[in-house]
């Protein structure tokens, strides 16, 4: 018995890397899969259905059920076709894993409008579009049956969005927005029996090796014989499978960083200090009062993540 027997899952960007590993492990635990991937380059250029078809074939080879979908997540109508693909082939949709992504690193003063628009279209609009169509389907299903639909959405953020990373203002802004989007949508959908959670993976992918020089040297290095590969994208999939299962039915609106052997439970914006005046502040007095509170604040960085070990 698998954790997901009889469930139907859609994984976007499932042709390679993290999405591929998520799709394979979901299938190993009994889910039927819609394997979506446009198959473009890491910058969003081109199209190739081949990687998604290979994952579908691999799932079928191990005795699972899967179909391939090559629509773009940034196409609102294409996102609806992904839902229809699940319904046409498996009569249901229970799990959505929004994983598809591209990267166009630029310092802000070198970033073009297209660099900005393309990255936000795939990450933020794509996450919205796929989740929106699933939400409508689940809401209607709940109204028809009067029962919780047991739906799951797992969205993909990034340390770039949670902690920040130079040259990724487009990507980081989209990833931070996805974390906020997920928490809000979880509040909207929980009454129908849906959970929406977010992961921020740390793993070796085209985006972290081919497209990001800052992490390429570290992540491209393969482990020696018998050593645990902390950057293997397969390390991300177990958390996704658990969040998709009945065991996580009460996990709502959470953000998890995951990589290597570790899973971190993250906390969103929250107060770490406060100053309160007698009335309206004098600007200079306000600054003087704030300085001791600011001195207490330690902002975690991506370097802190790597130095702490995965």
Report, as residue numbers or ranges, the catalytic residues.
158, 171, 175
Q: Which tokens go with 84? A: 């229809």
- Give exposure, 97-115, as e/b (b: 16+ Cβ within 10 Å): bbbbbbbbbbeeeebeeeb
List, in order, residues 6 or more apart from 86 with CB less than 8 Å away. 8, 10, 34, 92, 93
150: helix, strand or coil: coil
Name the DSSP class of 265. E
Length of the chain: 310
C-alpha count within 13 angstroms, C-beta hemisphere, residue 64: 28
- Nearest to 257, CA basis, from 305, 211, 185: 305
Beta strands in the chain (DSSP E): 8-11, 32-36, 66-69, 95-98, 151-156, 194-201, 255-259, 262-266
Checking 182-185 for CB contacts under 8 A at 24+ apart, the result is 182/153, 182/155, 182/157, 182/253, 182/255, 183/253, 183/255, 183/268, 185/131, 185/135, 185/153
């Amino acid at each position: 018995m698998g954790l997901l027997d009889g469930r139907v899952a859609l994984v976007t960007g499932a042709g390679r890397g993290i999405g591929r590993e998520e799709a394979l492990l979901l299938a190993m635990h009994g889910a039927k899969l819609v394997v979506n991937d446009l198959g473009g380059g890491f910058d969003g250029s081109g199209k190739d259905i081949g990687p998604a078809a290979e994952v579908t074939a691999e799932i079928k080879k191990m005795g699972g059920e899967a179909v391939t979908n090559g629509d773009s997540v940034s196409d609102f109508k294409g996102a609806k076709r992904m839902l229809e693909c699940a319904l046409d082939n498996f009569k249901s949709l229970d799990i959505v894993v929004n994983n598809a992504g591209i990267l166009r690193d630029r310092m802000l003063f070198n970033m073009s409008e297209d660099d900005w628009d393309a990255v936000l279209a795939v990450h933020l609009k794509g996450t919205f579009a796929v989740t929106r169509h699933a939400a409508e389907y689940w809401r209607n299903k709940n109204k028809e049956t009067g029962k919780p639909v047991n739906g799951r959405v797992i969205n993909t953020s990034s340390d770039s969005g949670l902690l920040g990373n130079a040259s990724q203002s487009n990507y980081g802004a989209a990833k931070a927005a996805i974390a906020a989007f997920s928490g809000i949508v979880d509040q909207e959908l929980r009454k129908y029996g849906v959970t929406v959670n977010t992961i921020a993976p740390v793993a070796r992918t085209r985006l972290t090796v081919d497209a990001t020089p800052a992490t390429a040297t570290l992540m491209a290095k393969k482990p020696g014989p018998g050593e645990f590969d902390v950057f293997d994208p397969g390390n991300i999939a177990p958390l996704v499978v658990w969040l998709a299962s009945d065991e996580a039915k009460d996990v709502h609106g959470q953000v998890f960083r995951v990589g290597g052997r570790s899973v971190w439970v993250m906390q969103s914006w929250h107060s770490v200090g406060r100053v309160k005046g007698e009335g309206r502040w004098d600007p200079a007095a306000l600054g003087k009062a704030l300085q001791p509170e600011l001195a207490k604040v330690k902002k975690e960085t991506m370097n802190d993540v790597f130095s702490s070990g995965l």
